[in-house]
């Protein structure tokens, strides 16, 4: 019984149950082979590219913010790398640095506007999303005359960012797992993680308690933007080309993965492990359906039902986590009576 209570208190409880339910559904009702489904490279590659973006988006949501500009920053990272290296012939290190610099710049804009104005971060990042789409398209046509640019990366860059492991698995999988481990340690084992949860619970109280909420907010937006341009840069190196289109699906996919992973939309509750498992679950639903006998047109229905169930489970597990706390932790201490 204690083990069950311990599991229910964890934010990733709902995401783990969702993953098990999806796999069982595909195996029992979709006729999927479990070994083939688990070992398929398609959903793992999909999850790795999505997961690197979903983790910082999830951290932002835990702190009470949201970043949807990632939809334009992924092609921005690809095009910056391709234009600098493929079109102008500069070293690949310049292209990589340029892509990451774009992420830092946009992240700083998002963060500074969020802390210095009363405009919600959703609206701010929506504006930068649209603006960056225009910058990427106009800049590409102005500089190269085309909406797509080819490039050839050296072997060492291919090895680090664009290699296919075993002929099918992208090397970005290694980056995704390493990133998840590092961010999991930061969120759950350092004071910065405690600050994020406090910000998501009540940002004003967190600021009054001495937490540097402004610096933390800016750092999170920079992390989110740089992660998106990093994914775009890796895709350009892997496919030897970049296009101004693409990236918009990452917005919806990342948010769904984060919510399925146990992060509450209201902030203050979640885990990196849950986001990781939520990304895997979403990837299996999106790509694993091709290994079943289920009509592909039903995939969106499955995703919608899974998202609704995840939201309901997340709130339920949040309530259970509060219920199973020791009684002294369920209520705030009372103010001493006036003499």
DSSP string covering 86-124? IIT---HHHHHHHHHHHHHHHHHHHHHHHHHSSS-HHHH
Cβ neighbours of 207 (radius 10 Å): 14
177-197 per-position pLDDT tens digit:
999 999 999 999 999 999 999
Q: What confidence category does residue 3 fall into, taking pLDDT thresholds of 50, 70 and 90?
A: low
In a domain, 1, yes or no: no
Is 45 part of a structural domain of the chain?
yes
Query: Phi/psi at 164 (nearest 5 deg)?
Result: -100, 115
Q: What is the pLDDT of residues 131-148, one digit of tens each?
A: 999 999 999 999 999 999
Average pLDDT for the chain = 87
Percent pLDDT > 70 in the chain is 89
**Would you say residue 89 lies in a domain?**
yes
207 found inside a domain? yes
- Rg over alpha carbons for the chain, rounded to the nearest Å, is 21
**Residue 337 resides in a domain:** no
pLDDT at 329: 40
Domain for residue 181, yes or no?
yes
Q: What kind and span of H or E run contains 169?
A: strand 169-170
CA distance 55 to 39: 23
Query: Is residue 77 very low, low, confident or very high in pLDDT (cuts 50, 70, 90)?
Result: very high
Predicted confidence (pLDDT) per residue in 324-338, tens digit: 555 444 443 333 344
At 20-58, the pLDDT tens digits run 888 888 888 888 888 888 878 889 999 999 999 999 999
The residue-averaged pLDDT of 48-77 equals 96
Report the C-alpha gap between 37 and 26 in whole angstroms: 9
The domain tally of the chain equals 1
CA distance 114 to 125: 9
Whether 5 maps to a domain, the answer reads no
8 pLDDT tier (thresholds 50, 70, 90): low
The answer to whether residue 335 is domain-embedded is: no
| Range of the structural domain that residue 257 is part of | 14-324
Residue 246 banded pLDDT, cuts 50, 70, 90: confident
Give the Cα separation of 154 and 320 in Å (integer).
53
Q: Which of 16-25, 184-193, 252-261, 268-277 has the lowest mean pLDDT?
A: 16-25
DSSP state, residue 90: -
pTM for the predicted model, two decimal places: 0.89
Taking the C-alpha atoms of residue 178 and residue 305, their distance in angstroms, rounded to an integer, is 31
Domain holding 189: CATH number?
A: 1.10.3470
């Amino acid at each position: 019984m204690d083990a069950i209570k311990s599991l229910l208190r964890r934010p990733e409880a709902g995401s783990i149950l969702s993953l098990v339910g999806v796999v069982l559904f595909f195996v029992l009702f979709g006729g999927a082979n479990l070994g083939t489904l688990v070992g398929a490279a398609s959903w793992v590659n999909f999850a790795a590219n999505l997961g690197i973006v979903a983790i910082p988006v999830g951290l932002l949501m835990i702190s009470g913010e949201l970043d949807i500009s990632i939809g334009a920053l992924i092609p921005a990272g690809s095009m910056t790398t391709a234009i600098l290296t493929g079109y102008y012939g500069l070293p690949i290190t310049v292209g990589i640095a340029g892509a990451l610099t774009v992420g830092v710049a946009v992240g700083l804009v998002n963060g500074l506007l969020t802390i210095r104005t009363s405009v919600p971060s959703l609206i701010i990042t929506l504006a930068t999303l649209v603006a960056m789409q225009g910058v990427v398209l106009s800049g590409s046509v102005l500089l190269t005359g085309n909406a797509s640019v080819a490039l050839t990366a050296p072997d060492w860059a291919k090895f680090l960012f664009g290699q296919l492991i075993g002929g099918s698995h992208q090397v970005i999988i290694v980056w995704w797992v390493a990133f998840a481990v590092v961010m999991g340690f930061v969120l759950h084992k350092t004071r910065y993680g405690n600050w994020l949860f406090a910000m998501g619970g009540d940002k004003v109280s967190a600021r009054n308690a001495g937490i540097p909420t402004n610096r933390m907010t800016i750092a999170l937006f920079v992390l989110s933007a740089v992660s998106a341009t990093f994914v775009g840069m890796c895709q350009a190196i892997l496919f030897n080309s970049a296009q101004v289109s693409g990236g918009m699906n990452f917005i919806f996919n990342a948010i769904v993965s984060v919510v399925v992973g146990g992060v509450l939309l209201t902030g203050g509750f979640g885990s990196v492990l849950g986001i990781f498992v939520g990304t895997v679950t979403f990837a299996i639903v999106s790509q694993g359906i091709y290994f079943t006998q289920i009509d592909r047109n039903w995939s969106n229905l499955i995703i919608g039902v899974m998202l609704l169930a995840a939201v309901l489970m997340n709130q339920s597990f949040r309530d259970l986590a509060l219920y199973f706390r020791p009684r002294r932790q369920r209520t705030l201490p009372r103010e001493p009576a006036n003499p």
